[in-house]
Structure 1
Amino acid sequence: MRIYLLLAAIAGGVTYLVTPLIRHIAIEIGAVGEVRARDVHTIPTPRLGGLGMLIGFAVAMVFASHLPFLSGLFANNHQPWVVLAGAVMISLLGMADDLWDLDWMLKLAGQLLISVFVAWGGLQIISLPLGSLVTASPSLSMAITAILIVASINAVNFVDGLDGLSSGIVAIGGIAFAIYSYIIARSSPSYASLATLIDVALVGICVGFLLHNWHPAKLFMGDSGSMLLGYLITCASIVMTGRLDPATIHASIYLPAFMPILLPILVLFLPVLDMCLAIVRRVSHGQSPMHPDRMHLHHRMLKIGHSVRGAVLILWGWAALIAFGSLTILFFPIGYVLVGMAVAVALLSAATLFPYLKRRLPDIREENAQFAAAKRQGKGGTEGDGGSTDV
């Protein structure tokens, strides 16, 4: 565990140190995000923060390859280098979009090609949760892998709308997933795990960048960063499927504690939910699925009355509830977990709705008072009219 903590610190430290340099480069080359109608920020802010995150991840991976504890993961195994190569390519695609605002279809095609390359390089979903773990055919594995990677990339990209939101959500998911993959690795002769390595490096670069991206942000990660985060957390979940033996492990054992194909959805539940709602909303209005708007979850939080920081913290809370709530099934009876999650849901719901209720309660009281006064006046008028008639 200490080795993984060291690698997380290296990834985070490198990201933190190189990000100011990346900011300077972004300003020099004109990679500065103009304020658009859908944006929350009010002043132009440099982008390309994903480049600093990529450098932090690459340094951590290279450093890990020279550690005795983890060197076996890199010996006669090209998966770590395939993951790193895909990370470089997805970040370069995101940088191109940050600089030249690529057409969404071109960007989607690039994401799909990179995902197919990674799957072709050996990073594939090798099993499906169909009652029992069933080994998929190579072509089906590649297709599922590519679709899963592209979906996760765009889910994180969709939710990247407030300072620190996407990096915090991915870091929370990465921590939960790292714990799970570490537990799985402990059942093997060696505790070394490529999935855990990717996760801890991912958490490190998120934290390192978050120190510069907390509101008000000095730098945005841009598509080069959001796409990288979605890619890496999905790669970690795919790598982990290699530790599950379809011949000896039944799916019922792992389904309550993250089936690998469900992991990205669970740890990225909010981004995936936001993406699905956005696609349905836009298609129902006859728009492109990638048409920008101000109806994302974080926009709705701001409309309720939350500050940027408050909205981010509450959305982090929901992400932690889903990720860690699922993880606790490994350690506690499901009844206790459900009770704890119910209490957490109640508290988070109250925190989510507090600004709206705070604003609306005085209005509701005033409306009730006006209604009561009108009702009393109505009764008084009726009695007076009756008295005049008697006279």
Structure 2
Amino acid sequence: MRVYLFIAAIAAGATFLFTPLIRHLAIRMGAVGEVRARDVHTIPTPRMGGLAMLLGFAVAMFVASRLPFLHTVFATNDQPWVILIGAVLICLLGIADDCWDLDWMLKLAGQLLISVFVAWGGLQIISLPLGSLVTFSPTISIAITALLIVVSINAVNFVDGLDGLAAGIVAIGGIAFGIYSYILSRTSPSYASLSTMIDVMLVGICFGFLLHNWHPAKLFMGDSGSMLLGYLITCASIVMTGRLDPASIHASIYLPAFMPILLPVLVLFLPVLDMIMAIVRRLRKGQSPMHPDRMHLHHRMLRIGHSVPVAVLILWGWAALFAFGSLMLLFFTAVEVLIGFVIAATLLALATMSPYLRRRVLEDGELPGPFHSHDSSIPAPADDSAPARHSTDRRNR
């Protein structure tokens, strides 16, 4: 465990130190996000923060490769270096978009090519634990792996709309993944795990970048960062679940049997939900799936009345609820987890709707009560239009 914490600290420290340098580089390269109609920020802010996270990840990877504890991870296969090469490529594609605003079809084609390359390099879903082991042919494995990487990349990209939101959600997912993969690694002779290593690096670069990206952000991660985070969290998931044989894992650890599928889905539940809602919404209007709008989950939170930091914290809470709620099934009974989930969901729902509920209480308090209807100090409405104006004002709020 101490080795993994050390690697996470290296990733966080390197990212934190590289971020100011990348900010100046982004300004010189013209990678500065202009204020658009759908944006929340009001001041042009440099993008390209993904490059700082990539450098932090690369530094942590090279340090990890020199540690005796993780020697077997690098000696047995080339997957760590394939993941690193893919991270470089996906980040470069994002940098190009941050600088020149690529067409969405060109960007999607680039994502697909890089994902196929990574899958061809050995990072594949060989099997899925669906009660029994389901084995795929190499072609199908590559196709499914590439599709999952592309979906996750764009899901994180869609949710990246507020300062610190995407980095925090991915960090929460990385922690949940890291705990689960570490539990699995303890059942093997060596605790060394590529999946756990990628997870702790991912969490480290998210924390290092969040120190500069919290509201008001000094630097945006841009597409170079959101695509990188979506790529890395999917790679960690594929490494952890893609070759997992449930028959080889003790029942006390592998509960429930579908956890390897359930956990990746719930960790990215919020970004994927936001992406699906956006695509359906735009297609129903006859627009492109990538057509920008101000109807994402974070936009709705601001419209309710939350400030940017509070909206981010509440969305982090929802992400943690789904990620850790599934993980708790490994330690508690299903009934206990369900009770805790309902309580936490109720509290989060109240926090989410609190500005709206507060306005309703204030508005109701301003209206004449039944005991004051005949009070001469309260003038009666001159005509029937007064209640209508009040109703209109309420909608406009």
With the length of structure 1 as denominator, give the TM-score of the two structures: 0.92
Q: Aligned to 1:260, what secondary structure does the other structure show? A: helix
Are the aligned partners of 1:134 and 1:246 in contact in 2 as well (CA < 8 Å)? Answer: no
Structure 1 residues 78, 246: closer, same or farther in 2, change over 3 A? same
Amino acid in structure 2 at the alignment position of 1:187: T
Q: Which residue of 1 aligns with 2:72?
A: 72
For residue 259 of structure 1, report the CA deviation from its aligned partner. 3.6
Structure 1 residues 370, 318: closer, same or farther in 2, change over 3 A? same
Q: How does 1:214-253 map to 2 (within 5 A)?
A: 214-241=214-241, 244-245=244-245, 248=248
For residue 29 of structure 1, report the CA deviation from its aligned partner. 1.3
For residue 240 of structure 1, report the CA deviation from its aligned partner. 1.1
Separation of aligned partners in 2, 1:368 and 1:343: 36
Q: Which residue of 1 aligns with 2:47?
A: 47
For residue 367 of structure 1, report the CA deviation from its aligned partner. 5.1
For residue 130 of structure 1, report the CA deviation from its aligned partner. 3.5
For residue 190 of structure 1, report the CA deviation from its aligned partner. 0.3
Structure 1 residues 181, 155: closer, same or farther in 2, change over 3 A? same
For residue 252 of structure 1, report the CA deviation from its aligned partner. 12
Q: How does 1:343-358 map to 2 (within 5 A)?
A: 343-358=343-358
Separation of aligned partners in 1, 2:49 and 2:362: 44
Q: Which residue of 2 aligns with 1:280?
A: 280
Q: Which residue of 2 aligns with 1:96?
A: 96
Amino acid in structure 2 at the alignment position of 1:209: F
Q: Which residue of 2 aligns with 1:149?
A: 149
Q: CA RMSD in A?
A: 2.1
Q: Aligned to 1:75, what secondary structure does the other structure show? A: helix
For residue 261 of structure 1, report the CA deviation from its aligned partner. 3.8
For residue 362 of structure 1, report the CA deviation from its aligned partner. 2.2
Q: Which residue of 2 aligns with 1:341?
A: 341
Q: Which residue of 2 aligns with 1:115?
A: 115
With the length of structure 2 as denominator, give the TM-score of the two structures: 0.90
Q: How does 1:8-19 map to 2 (within 5 A)?
A: 8-19=8-19
Q: How does 1:119-138 map to 2 (within 5 A)?
A: 119-138=119-138
Q: Identify the range of structure 1 (167-176 vs 130-139) with the bigger mean alpha-carbon deviation.
A: 130-139
Q: Which residue of 1 aligns with 2:179?
A: 179
Q: Aligned to 1:256, what secondary structure does the other structure show? A: coil
CA deviations 1:331-362 (Å, max 9, x no partner) are 11111111111110111111100011111222
Separation of aligned partners in 2, 1:251 and 1:122: 29
Separation of aligned partners in 2, 1:17 and 1:248: 42
Amino acid in structure 1 at the alignment position of 2:66: H
For residue 127 of structure 1, report the CA deviation from its aligned partner. 1.2
Q: Aligned to 2:128, what secondary structure does the other structure show? A: strand
Q: Which residue of 1 aligns with 2:305?
A: 305
User: Percent of pairs identical after alignment?
Assistant: 78
**Where does structure 1 lack aligned partners over 5 or more consecutive residues?**
375-391
Are the aligned partners of 2:187 and 2:249 in contact in 1 as well (CA < 8 Å)? Answer: no
Structure 1 residues 103, 223: closer, same or farther in 2, change over 3 A? same
Separation of aligned partners in 1, 2:286 and 2:157: 22
Structure 1 residues 34, 255: closer, same or farther in 2, change over 3 A? farther
Structure 1 residues 2, 166: closer, same or farther in 2, change over 3 A? same
Amino acid in structure 2 at the alignment position of 1:39: D
Structure 1 residues 65, 294: closer, same or farther in 2, change over 3 A? same
**Where does structure 2 lack aligned partners over 5 or more consecutive residues?**
375-397
For residue 255 of structure 1, report the CA deviation from its aligned partner. 6.6
Amino acid in structure 1 at the alignment position of 2:53: M
Separation of aligned partners in 2, 1:258 and 1:89: 32
Are the aligned partners of 2:263 and 2:327 in contact in 1 as well (CA < 8 Å)? Answer: no
Separation of aligned partners in 1, 2:258 and 2:177: 9
For residue 286 of structure 1, report the CA deviation from its aligned partner. 0.3
Q: Aligned to 1:12, what secondary structure does the other structure show? A: helix
Q: Aligned to 2:209, what secondary structure does the other structure show? A: helix
Separation of aligned partners in 1, 2:146 and 2:200: 23
Are the aligned partners of 1:256 and 1:326 in contact in 2 as well (CA < 8 Å)? Answer: no
Amino acid in structure 2 at the alignment position of 1:134: V
Q: Does 1:201 align with 2:206?
A: no
Structure 1 residues 247, 364: closer, same or farther in 2, change over 3 A? same
Separation of aligned partners in 2, 1:353 and 1:129: 39
Q: Which residue of 1 aligns with 2:390?
A: none
For residue 369 of structure 1, report the CA deviation from its aligned partner. 3.4
Separation of aligned partners in 1, 2:269 and 2:368: 39
For residue 13 of structure 1, report the CA deviation from its aligned partner. 0.1
For residue 246 of structure 1, report the CA deviation from its aligned partner. 6.0
Separation of aligned partners in 2, 1:159 and 1:24: 25
Amino acid in structure 2 at the alignment position of 1:236: A
Are the aligned partners of 1:12 and 1:209 in contact in 2 as well (CA < 8 Å)? Answer: yes
Q: Aligned to 2:141, what secondary structure does the other structure show? A: helix
For residue 254 of structure 1, report the CA deviation from its aligned partner. 4.4
Q: Which residue of 2 aligns with 1:27?
A: 27
Q: Identify the range of structure 1 (76-85 vs 14-23) with the bigger mean alpha-carbon deviation.
A: 76-85
How many pairs were matched up?
375
Are the aligned partners of 1:54 and 1:88 in contact in 2 as well (CA < 8 Å)? Answer: yes
For residue 135 of structure 1, report the CA deviation from its aligned partner. 1.4
Amino acid in structure 2 at the alignment position of 1:189: P
Q: Which residue of 2 aligns with 1:85?
A: 85
Amino acid in structure 2 at the alignment position of 1:59: V
For residue 35 of structure 1, report the CA deviation from its aligned partner. 0.3
CA deviations 1:124-147 (Å, max 9, x no partner) are 111124332211111111111011
Separation of aligned partners in 2, 1:24 and 1:197: 30
Q: Which residue of 1 aligns with 2:106?
A: 106
Amino acid in structure 2 at the alignment position of 1:163: D
Q: Which residue of 1 aligns with 2:383?
A: none
Are the aligned partners of 1:257 and 1:327 in contact in 2 as well (CA < 8 Å)? Answer: no
For residue 312 of structure 1, report the CA deviation from its aligned partner. 0.2
Are the aligned partners of 2:183 and 2:253 in contact in 1 as well (CA < 8 Å)? Answer: no
Q: Does 1:58 align with 2:58?
A: yes
For residue 76 of structure 1, report the CA deviation from its aligned partner. 3.9
Are the aligned partners of 1:165 and 1:312 in contact in 2 as well (CA < 8 Å)? Answer: yes
